[in-house]
């Protein structure tokens, strides 16, 4: 996904604020990673209909920096559903202040595991995506 999808809603959308930036005005990579994890876990939670925990960051690529005032949209899609795990790809676009076209800034793949009330892995019931 190289262009922001027009037919899908983002899992989350948030504006990068001054408190999220380093002294050079770039947004910390860890802040973006946190937003990606929130977006991926929301989709995993919705599919599993229960609690999930992050067990792996399979890949994470920063394509462009994010700046204060950028509105980021995180699009999350299910890649694979296993017995107790679910893998989600998250693509992040930034809508920059005074620019017309959103740019892809980050792409990641994360794996979550469904857990029960005792925090033990639990089977995922397969469903249509």
Distance CA 63, CA 75 (A): 15
Q: What is the pLDDT of residue 32?
A: 97
Q: What is the pLDDT of residue 129?
A: 62
Q: What is the pTM of this model?
A: 0.92
pLDDT above 90 covers a percentage of the chain that reads 84
Residue 54 has pLDDT above 70, yes or no: yes
62-121 pLDDT per residue, tens: 999 999 999 999 999 999 999 999 999 999 999 998 888 899 999 999 999 999 999 999
Q: For the residues of 96-126, what is the DSSP string, one character each? A: -TT-SS-EEEEEEEEEEEEB-TTS-B-PPPP
């Amino acid at each position: 996904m190289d262009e922001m999808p027009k037919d899908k809603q983002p899992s989350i959308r948030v504006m990068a604020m001054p408190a999220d930036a380093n002294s050079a005005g770039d947004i910390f990579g860890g802040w973006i990673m946190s937003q990606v994890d929130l977006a991926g876990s929301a989709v995993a939670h919705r599919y599993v209909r229960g609690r999930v925990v992050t067990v792996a960051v399979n890949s994470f690529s920063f394509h462009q920096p994010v700046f204060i005032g950028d509105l980021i949209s995180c699009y999350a899609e299910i890649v694979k559903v296993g017995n107790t795990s679910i893998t989600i790809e998250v693509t992040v676009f930034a809508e920059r202040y005074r620019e017309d076209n959103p740019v892809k800034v980050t792409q990641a793949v994360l794996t979550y595991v469904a857990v029960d009330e005792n925090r033990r892995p639990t089977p995922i019931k397969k469903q249509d995506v």
